């Protein structure tokens, strides 16, 4: 019986997983791809970004992008992933492959183990695991570009039942990988890139390749078609986290949703957000900006003190044209944030 190949894309927050997926969907070579996004935050930013990649022209194609919003995917396998996969598999005749984008904290192995369940393994197989790695972070001696943002993500997920050192999470991501993609390579020197690749290759199983990837642009034939049947090869992919104990979580980390009816000057908005970042302990900002007289929607993404914007697609007639942002940080009080941002309606 034909099984749907499933590719798992893992990697830390900010490494470039969503950018990679957007490029894949825009260059799908005629494949009908379903995407499961392990979203983080109150607003479905990542899922909406993927839907705007200009390949979802029909309602059926838009329905092939599904957000799993109830926390770390490897910790909610039974509650959320399992029924979602069952629903997807009822449409398997209309799907050529499935891509799962995990959150930055999800362990790949527990997710892959779910494909041993009879109801899933009969119809789907894990074709391969792709780990996305921030080359600039490694060159700087860290594993993630913004550790505070990653810790905020960890603390804001009440379903997370593993709270382990970042180094061990990274080792698990590498141990399960069939391919490693290096992003942000344009931000480091050739010497640093060579050193990063050399170090990574020593940490990986024999035969696992390390490939630089600029802005998510890579041939889909490289990402798909490993035929690895990963669920049957888990003994060769050791994990620090095969058994986990429960851990307490930092309840001080929270996320707030901000809605601004109109933003006439995006640069003033960005300047105001930078001011907030210096005043409050804000780790991550992401969302969409409504710029009057502009037909396209602006995407805003902030990690640490860096804020980037780009236009992703035309506003649709049914869209609610407002600025919607999710702000993630520590001890954020909605009333105080709203008071600080009262003047944004006239920015």
HSE, CB side, 13 Å, CA atoms: give it for residue 163. Answer: 16
pLDDT of residue 54: 47
pLDDT of residue 5: 95
> CA 9 to CA 220: how far, in whole Å?
13
pLDDT, tens digit, 9 for 90 and up, residues 254-267: 667 888 877 768 88
Provide the percentage of residues in the chain whose pLDDT is more than 70.
Answer: 73
> CA 131 to CA 47: how far, in whole Å?
19
Residue 74 has pLDDT above 80, yes or no: no
pLDDT of residue 63: 56
pLDDT of residue 46: 55
- The partner residues of 256 in beta bridges, in order of sequence, read 327
pLDDT, tens digit, 9 for 90 and up, residues 268-322: 889 888 888 888 888 778 788 999 888 999 988 786 677 888 888 899 898 888 8
pLDDT of residue 248: 37
Provide the percentage of residues in the chain whose pLDDT is more than 90.
Answer: 19
Q: What is the gyration radius of the CA atoms in the chain, in angstroms?
A: 20
> CA 52 to CA 297: how far, in whole Å?
10
pLDDT of residue 334: 78
pLDDT of residue 159: 42
Mean pLDDT for 40-64 is 50
pLDDT of residue 175: 93
Place of tokens 């993404």: 301
> CA 221 to CA 266: how far, in whole Å?
38
Strands (E), 189-281: 209-212, 253-260
**pLDDT-based confidence at residue 64 (cuts at 50, 70, 90):** low
**pLDDT-based confidence at residue 209 (cuts at 50, 70, 90):** very high
**Average pLDDT over the chain, rounded to an integer:** 77
pLDDT of residue 247: 37
pLDDT of residue 340: 74
Burial class, 159, CB count within 10 angstroms (exposed 0-12 / middle 13-18 / buried 19+)? middle
What are the structural domains, with CATH classification, of the chain?
4-236 (3.40.50.300), 253-346 (3.30.1220.10)
Q: How many of the other CB atoms lie within 10 Å of CB of 82?
A: 15
Residue 76 has pLDDT above 90, yes or no: no
pLDDT, tens digit, 9 for 90 and up, residues 136-169: 888 888 775 544 554 555 455 444 444 456 788 8
Residue 195 has pLDDT above 60, yes or no: yes
Least confident range of 66-70, 85-89, 139-143, 304-308: 66-70
């Amino acid at each position: 019986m034909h099984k749907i190949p499933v590719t798992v894309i893992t990697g830390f927050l900010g490494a470039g997983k969503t950018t990679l997926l957007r490029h894949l969907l825009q260059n799908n070579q005629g494949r009908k791809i379903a995407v499961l996004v392990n979203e983080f935050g109150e607003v479905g930013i990542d899922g909406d970004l993927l839907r705007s990649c200009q390949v979802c022209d029909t309602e059926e194609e838009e329905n092939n992008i599904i957000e799993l919003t109830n926390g770390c995917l490897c910790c909610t396998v039974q509650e959320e992933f399992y029924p979602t996969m069952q629903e997807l598999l009822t449409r398997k005749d209309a799907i050529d492959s499935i891509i799962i984008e995990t959150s930055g904290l999800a362990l790949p192995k527990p997710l892959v183990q779910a494909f041993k369940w009879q109801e899933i393994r009969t119809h789907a197989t894990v074709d391969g695991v792709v780990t996305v790695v921030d080359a600039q972070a490694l060159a700087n001696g860290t594993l993630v570009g913004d550790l505070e943002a990653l810790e905020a993500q960890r603390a804001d997920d009440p379903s997370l039942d593993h709270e382990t050192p970042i180094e061990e999470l990274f080792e698990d991501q590498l141990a399960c990988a069939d391919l490693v993609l290096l992003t942000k390579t344009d931000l480091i020197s050739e010497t640093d890139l060579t050193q990063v690749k050399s170090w990574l290759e020593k940490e990986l199983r024999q035969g696992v390749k390390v490939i630089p990837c600029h802005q998510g642009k890579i041939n889909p034939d490289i990402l798909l078609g490993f035929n690895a049947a990963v669920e049957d090869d888990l003994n060769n992919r050791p994990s620090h986290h095969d058994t986990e104990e429960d851990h307490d979580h930092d309840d001080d980390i929270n996320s707030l949703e901000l809605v601004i009816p109109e933003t006439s000057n995006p640069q003033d908005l960005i300047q105001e957000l930078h001011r907030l970042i210096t005043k409050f302990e804000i780790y991550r900002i992401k969302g969409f900006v409504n710029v009057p007289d502009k037909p396209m929607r602006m995407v805003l993404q902030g990690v640490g003190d860096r804020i980037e914007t780009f236009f992703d697609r035309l506003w649709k007639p049914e869209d609610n044209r407002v600025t919607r942002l999710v702000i993630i940080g520590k001890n954020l009080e909605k009333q105080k944030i709203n008071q600080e941002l009262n003047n944004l309606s006239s920015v």
